[in-house]
Every structure is written in C-alpha cells, then in structure tokens.
Amino acid sequence: MKPIDPGVRRRTVLGGLLALTAAGCADDDQGGAEPTSSPTPVEPSPSASDPTGAPDLDGGQELVRGLAVPWGLAFLPDGSALVSERGTADILRVGLDGSGPEQVQRIEGVRAEGEGGLLGLAVSPDYEADELVYAYFASDEGDNRIVRFRLGEEQESVFTGIAAAGNHNGGRIAFGPDSMLYAATGDAGDTSLSQDENSPNGKILRLTSEGDAAEGNPTEGSPVWTLGHRNVQGLAWDADGRLYASEFGQNALDELNLIEAGNNYGWPEVEGEGGTDDGRFTDPLLTWPVEEASPSGIAIAGDVLYMAALRGARLWTVPLNGDGTVGEPASRFEGEYGRLRTVAVAPDGALWLTTSNTDGRGEVRDGDDRIIRFPAG
C-alpha cells in the first residue's frame, strides 16, 4: 500500500471540505458543454452524522479532485470509500472526510479502451470476516469479468466470459439485501445477445459470492436474473428490498426500471415505453430523452432515488412512493459539475457524487475529475 504522489497523479485533497460554486457542462457516454467557473474554497464545515437524514443538495462540498475517470464507488465498514479509475486500473481509498486518496490496489489485465477499463466495485457484505472486494472490468483477454481480492493481494476471477466491446459494457456490481452479487451487463454492441437466455450480456445477473448462479434464480443453474437490457449502469435497492436499475437507450429514450426476477425489459424489440407485447415485455417506470440523461449510477436515500446523468450533465431526483411506483422526477445541478457518473450513499448518510469530465467526452475544467459530497440533513 503506497500513498499517491499528488504531484504526479494530480489527486489532491483540498485541506478538508471545499464548497463548490456553480461550474457548467454535460453515451451512450456523449456530449458536453463549455465549462464556466472553478470551485471556490471555503472554511470546512462539520460533517453530518445522521444516516437517516435526506442529503442536503444545497450543501455540496468538494472532497477530492484530480481523479482520472472515477467509475466504481463502494464503502468499507470503517466508512472509507474505494474508488476505481477506469483507465489507470487503480483502486484508491478515500477517507469519509476526504483524506487520502491512496492507492490500495491495481487490477491486473485491464483493457482500457472506449467505455471499457476498470468499472464497478462492490464490498463483500461479510467484509469484516473475509475482507473481500469485487471488481468488474474489461480484460485484455477480450471479455468483461468479475474478480475478487483482499486489498494488497492477488486477484481471483469469479465470473468470466461476458462479451466486451468499445461500448455497452455495463459494469455496475452490487451486493443485494439477500447477500447475492448482482452484475449489470451490456449488449456489447450485439443486440441479439440481450434476448439470448444463454448469454450473460444484456442482462442483470445474480451470483453467489463465489460467482456461481444463485439459488432461486428464474432458471435453475443460470446466472440470469432479468434480460432484455441494452446497457445497465445503475443498481439500487429501496428499504423494502425492491431493485431499481438505470439503462441507456439508443437514440430516443433512457430508462429507469423496477427489476423483478425473470422479467424481460424488451431490448432490442422495445426502447422506452414501447408496449409489453401482451405481457412478454416490462415497460420502464420512467423515461428521459437521451440528451437529458444518459444515466449511469443510481442510489437511494430514504424515499428518493438519485440518478447521475452523463450527457444530461445533471442529477435526477425521483420520489419513490413505497409501492414500487414513482413520482415526478426533478433535475438538479444542470451544467454545474459536468458529466456525472456515480452516486452513492455513505455510511453517515451523505450523498457522494463523482464527475466524469476526463473521459474524453466532456469539457475538462480545473480540478476534474472530482468527488462531491452532500451531507445528510
């Protein structure tokens, strides 16, 4: 484990928490607007410690700057966060207060081309006993795969053979309330794979911690939980255990879906609300024009779902009604921080948001890429 040299890697913690002023900017990962201003440092403010309070979206504080395309974000039991960098294949640890970041792992065999590279991260629900971390990445073997490891030790492949391409690699992984590992995959540019029940692509997979098909999946022995997806990059559960997923559309509509075992979400036969074909397909809960979204990560705090938008360069907030339905979405931060990749709820209830302006599709401004923290109210 060695600390990052900020003079070489450009990662800097700005003496505690810095508030951001409005800044300006906007896949599949595409688009971008001109940057306006840089963040203005202010005095550090106390961290919120109530994990039940709603995040204060008017209290944005910059934790870290100078990251290289941050993608995955997962929290350890001590409150610190692991952050993956797509192109460097590095995993960094950042303190709950923004301290660090320090490099704690480099994933071997990563192929960082197009939308590939090191993508999602997940921390074992039994981390205090097994110390295992999971990562999803495009490999130099030509596939997307999931590995696990203990920090500072060699990685072990647990699921391989997910087709990879320059885009539509999916990449989000997360442990659900059932302690199973869920993996969101893309169609890798081959639309036929999404409806192929024997392919792991264009699916949400449900796996054991060993990478096997989980017991109780719709088809015994198959890792497939749902099918008919184009490119899912966001997974989150509400307090009642319902799973939601964000999905890139093609030319018309991006989606937020309620994920239910065995359901078929229609791609490539349907984009957006195209009809259920007499119950064969499941319509999304919400859709957005692609220029307003290109959704990646999602997170849920209380009764609100937060969705990071890349091309849309904003954060969408979606009220959850408690019965699997949703209310009217609202847009926040349009053009303030640029392209937004990942959103997550920290152990103290704060909302963490990562930008993605250094990915070749955004306008890079001074300090990019960043992690921005919104304390719990």
Residues in the chain: 377
Closest CA to 316 of 365, 272, 256, 375: 256
Q: Report pLDDT for 52.
A: 56
Query: 2-374, what's its fold?
Result: Neuraminidase (2.120.10)
pLDDT class of 98 with cuts at 50, 70, 90:
very high
Q: How far apart are CA 95 and CA 283, in angstroms?
A: 40
Is it the case that residue 337 has pLDDT exceeding 70? yes
Backbone phi, psi, residue 370, to 5°:
-125, 165
Is it the case that residue 272 has pLDDT exceeding 50? yes
269 token code pair: 């036969």
Q: Report pLDDT for 28.
A: 61
Is it the case that residue 16 has pLDDT exceeding 50? no
Above pLDDT 70, what percent of the chain? Answer: 86
Q: How far apart are CA 56 and CA 313, in angstroms?
A: 19
Is it the case that residue 42 has pLDDT exceeding 90? no
358 token code pair: 């250094």
pLDDT class of 278 with cuts at 50, 70, 90:
confident
Domain boundaries, the chain: 2-374
pLDDT tens for each residue of 177-221: 999 999 999 999 999 999 999 999 999 999 999 999 999 999 999
Q: How far apart are CA 104 and CA 76, in angstroms?
A: 13
Is it the case that residue 377 has pLDDT exceeding 90? no
Q: Report pLDDT for 286.
A: 98
More confident residue, 14 or 161: 161
- State the residue for tokens 């913690």: 13
Is it the case that residue 36 has pLDDT exceeding 70? no
Average pLDDT in the 357-370 region? Answer: 94
3 token code pair: 């600390």
The mean pLDDT value of the chain amounts to: 88
Exposed / middle / buried, residue 57 (Cβ in 10 Å: 0-12, 13-18, 19+): middle
The pTM for the full model equals 0.89
More confident residue, 366 or 1: 366
Average pLDDT in the 101-123 region? Answer: 97
Distances (CA, A) of 308 to 29, 116, 292, 294, 352: 12, 19, 11, 8, 11
Interior angle at CA 44, CA 42 and CA 46, nearest 5: 140
Within 310-368, where are the H helices?
A: none
339 token code pair: 């392209």
Is it the case that residue 38 has pLDDT exceeding 50? no
Q: How far apart are CA 115 and CA 341, in angstroms?
A: 12
Average pLDDT in the 99-127 region? Answer: 97
Within the chain, where are the H helices?
A: 6-9, 127-130
Question: Over the Cα atoms of the chain, what is R_g?
Answer: 19
Distances (CA, A) of 16 to 13, 72, 331, 371: 7, 22, 28, 13
SS3 323: coil
Q: Report pLDDT for 12.
A: 39
Torsion 142-236-290-58 (CA) sign:
negative
pLDDT tens for each residue of 136-184: 999 999 999 999 999 999 999 999 999 999 999 999 999 999 999 999 9
